[in-house]
Structure 1
Amino acid sequence: MKLNLKAKLLLLSIITISFILVLSFMLLFKASSDKTNLETTKYRILEAQAISRVIHFMQIERGLMTGLIASENLNSNDDKLISAMNDLDSAIDDAKFTYSYTKNSSNYIMDVISDVKTNRKSIYLLNLSTTDAKNYYTKNIATLLNFTRTIPSMMNDKENRNIIQAYTHLSAAKEALGQMRATLSEVLIYHKFLKNTLTSFAGNLEVYNLNSMSFQAIAPDEILIFYYDTFKGDDVDEAFRIIEEALKSKSEHLFDTSSDYWFEKSTKTINLLKAAEDKLFNEVNKIINNKLDFAFYEILALSIFLIFSIFTLTILMIMAIRTVLFKTDELEQVHSDSLLLLEQYKSAVDRSFIVSKTDAKGVITYVNDEFCKISGYSESELLGKPHNIVRHPETPKEAFKSMWYTIKNLKQPWSGELQNLNKNGTSYWVKAVINPIMDRNGNIVEYIGVRTNISEIKSASTMDFLTGYGNRTKLNSDIHSFKNLSIAIFNLDNFRQINDFYGHEFGNEVIKALSDKIYNFIFSDAALRFYRLQGDEFVILGSSCSKELFEEIVKGVLKEIKEGIKIENEQILTSCSCGISFEEDKNKLLSTANMALKIAKKSNSNYLVYKESISLNKEYENNIKWSKKLSDALRDKNIITYYQPIVNNSTLAYEKYECLVRMRDDDKVIAPFFFLEIAKQTRQYFDITKTVIEQSFEMFKDKDVEFSINLSINDILEPQISEYIIMMLKRYGIGSKIVFEIVESEYIEKFEDVMAFITKVKKYDCKIAIDDFGTGYSNFEYLIKLKADYLKIDGSLIKNIDKDNNAYLVVSTIVDFSKKLGMKTVAEFVESEEIFKVVKELGVDYSQGYHFQQPQKDL
């Protein structure tokens, strides 16, 4: 066995080293091959670039030569022609030099290029006809162009191949334009346009257009950008204007153009195409050089890695062989220690987890003590039995189908939560992981299940942590578990005021005390169960309870709650609204009770039993009607702004106005109560806000009084509204007159965003008021942070302040706190002289209400 182990380890080392070496050599070979391909590509590009220069100067020489012949001014010493011939000779010499060191260069093309230079010297081209001279150049240019079209097929690099393909189209377009230059020069000199000349000229234009479009279709973006930026201007426009005149054949205006003028404009146009060619070659050379640099460093890195790998693996192999040959006993000792550790691990798992094993058919073959303890069965009672012995009847069959499919068919571990039943009938929950154990052939021989007891966690997930009673999860579970159900949802009235005045911790004590009060009233009836649904909502669920009895129980609970509670020596008066449902459809039971609760609150009833006739369908129908009215009003500019004065309590002067939205419907003016909530639901609310802002700014732009505009938290957080406000402040420049009233009945969640808005508008000297204070804010903390200028005390506290001592105490606290913070206070809903006297006595700075004036369209 020892020799066998040594041989296996030695063989494994050799295979590993061989594999890494072969892989490294393959990668190195590939990198070298890629570099060779890139070098070949570079040679092809250099060939194309060299030929491009030869073609370009040959085109210029063709144009000048045919022009001289046509003009019959056969002067071989023409400066332009001599310069062009010198440029062409230079380009041919450069091309020969390029071909002298490129690999696999074409001898045929070398001969064509050499012949062009030699034949031009031996043939006196000025003695030829214009057609023969032009054909001489055109034939050689065509040969070179045909060769450039074959260059992309000789390139392996796809990216650069596409660029050179784009070049072939560009060069073909340039050649077509060059032939048009030569042809039209001849026409303008002879002052006649033969029919076959016109046909040739039109054909060349078509070739130009087709190749130009092909070039634009495949050229890279950076080349196209350069092309579009370069190939334009007066010269290009003039050249193509002359071409258009030429295509009319007998145009009177064509022969007004001189041959030299045409040659100049067309040459400049062709030179722009040559600039695009040069840009294309610059880009492709840059790309190929970058790739060659990368390939060089890649080969270098692979070579270094290969050398390092061979060196390292050689050392490792020597070390491994020495370890195998000289430390076999130590290896066997490690094996023995591993078996001992494995046994200890098994023992630790048995002590810490609930463990069982079954054979391939699911029959129990092993259970540990923890399994026996939680299940209540002895080992002898469990061995040889299937796991159905602890299966809970309420566990869905689908859960077991999923488990068996995973462990048996997929041969993968399954994990999940299971509810089991112990011997005495009590249920318990476990988190289970079941693993299939397979032999070397992949056949399942047994299953091992490891579980943890999660009964306490499952219990906690169905319990409300504040009160200790069942939560929504528990309620939903019980609704599906019991039959013949009745349900009542209780919601505390004005609980937010308790939270606002006394704080959250006190509010939590109220919730706990009321929960105990309700539970103590019903706990003796086994048919009733109690839950805290959320916040200040509680639920009583009845099972097999008559409707009449259930209603009497609800009345009793409401009476108990109305008696109030005493917390920390404070007597708190409480009341509830309740919605009841006896719906047979369990899926509708909770929602219909909630609907009944909403209607009970709206109708100011203690409780309401849900019936189909009290469905909210009419409310939805009403919403649709008002949504249509609102849409029409916005379209027809019937959203209007009314203004209510805010009076200085000391001087009785009308110093400020609040801007209030109204809707005009025929001859009626409708208050926002009827349409503002609908506007929020139909996304028309922000249009209303913008309308009020626009009308208010326009009204007060030339008046020396402050005016306030209501903004909800949603207005402030909506970018289009906040941006619109800043724009209007800049446009009108009346920021010092404006007070933005923050209107919100919910807590401010994105406080930083609200503060950012306040900081922005205060830069324009605007002021901030907190509206409806005393109902919508949990405590005075927001008041301190918002740094408001005015505090508007909610009308629900003011309207009964002359009769309600609690309201008097709350308002006096708010006023004192505001004075310490340096804020002015405004009392809303000042409806009578008696109320006015009280708020003035408390030191409130301003009053607003019908006692002074109701909102008006005009000031």
Structure 2
Amino acid sequence: MNITPAGAPTPKMPFLEPDIERALLRAYIDSANDGIFVLCDEMKFHVANPVLAQWLGMSEAELTAHGQRIPITDLFGSAATASQFRHQFAAAAQGQAVRFEVEIRPPRGDTRWVEIGMNRVHLEDGELVIGIVRDTTEQKMLQTALQHLASHDDLTGLFNRRAFRQRLRTLVNAQHAGAVPHALLYVDLDQFKVVNDTCGHAAGDELLHQIGMRLKKLAGSADLVARLGGDEFGLLLHDRPIEEAMKVARSLCEDVAAHRFTWDGRPFEITASVGVCAINRDIPSAEEALSAADAACHVAKDQGRNRAQLYSEGAASKDKRQEMAWVARLQKALEENRFQIWHQRILGLRDTDDADGVHVEMLLRLVDENGEIVAPARFFPAAERYGLMPAIDRWVIQHLLLGGECGRPHQGMPAHCAINLSGASLNDDRFLVFLEDALRRTAIPTTALCFEITETVAVANFARVREVMQRLQNFGCRFALDDFGSGMSSFSYLKNLPVDSLKIDGALVRNIVEDAADLTMVEAIARIGRALGLRTVAEFVESDAILEKLRAVGVDYAQGYAIHRPAPLAADPAPQPGRKG
């Protein structure tokens, strides 16, 4: 062993000759997986590594030939892309580090999406701009597919309810600013159940597809057609007075009635009931417009079906009375403690996932006046519309973490549990203060708690949700994005939200055995989760076949009737016989 004597100068690294340095630099450039270029102030090539030359369909010699060098903008195949590049290049030439994404269509290369980063390099002979080009085509295609999935109905190809509501909100808000009136049509098929029950779901799906196409043909180029759910459709008629909207609604009824649907040689007569609502200054919100049109549609059904009904105060009164009745029932249930906390087991799909204890999601049930158990799907809409969700969430926290009036936590608590928080509660400062106080007082290890927040709430209230997450993380709590994939518009927010898990929307999970597209989406989300270090949980797992598919694509956890049916929390949360974990 060569030991330097004490006090001797430290040996220096060997000096590299300039030629050697250039050779090493060139070797690095040529071996890079990304495209690399060096441009002069005229945006002409001085250097183009093999990867970039291959993408552009030209050799480096062609790109950098003396006296014949080609400006990089000549190879983009798009005037818009070239203009964007010139703008970013000018910023880089001024010393700014820039990064942007564009689509390139080289005349002799393949079309692809790329991310370009550029910086200025100062040399003795002048200044150049160096750029790194990364192929983002696969990510862009995946994002586009998920965006389409988030805004479109798989069966009909029409817009889905979420996209419809967003457009409706835009039109309602424009009315408050004095824009021209629009109209909303709510369409419900009258004989759909007969087709579905007698011929099966395949026949029902085909009928929905055919009706959706007919509605699309009736709509104008500026109008929006959506499937709102089941056999219900919505049309937003842009810049249409109510008189014209009623004509469209009547024509729609006539067109659907004229349609002859046949399945296995059996003909069916199909009709539709249509509710019409003017979108004007009298409509305070998109939710009110949709509720009014829905109420008018019910009146059309009550009056004999196969007709159009214009919304009036009388048409909406029944629906309003029903919702207000739910409000009163919920308030009384809160006063009388007529709620129950249930649980559903979450199964780890890898051998190590359950090593740290049982995982469950906490669920809520209402016990009605007759002692019957009521699922939240029946009363949550009214609770959300009339601001009762913070009170309901408060009840859950009180009884789960503090043991209600007993002053101790629920004895049925598992090792790890997920608790849902509503958007209204997240925006309520008083609720957040209450929750933080409960976390300080509870005897339950706060590290065992995972709060679930729906993706749509997280995106719509990004700054607030992030603030709440950061405050509750101080207690060691974790977070999951619920219904992930149902309303996704971008992945960028995932990098900026301190979430630990993604709960894949059950609408994507339930058909993965038969539907290759759904399976691909679930696999993509699992890959995203792994890349970001997040656990993935699949909901609505209703068969062993689905369970095996989830294991195969790398999903971490599963939840659904195939694993454990919801039960009161006092019941043993252990998995059913024969189940792993």
TM-score by length of 1: 0.34
As a proportion of its length, which structure holds more helix? 1
User: Higher relative contact order at CA 8 Å, sep ≥6: structure 1 or structure 2?
Assistant: 2
After TM superposition, the score normalised by the length of structure 2 is: 0.49
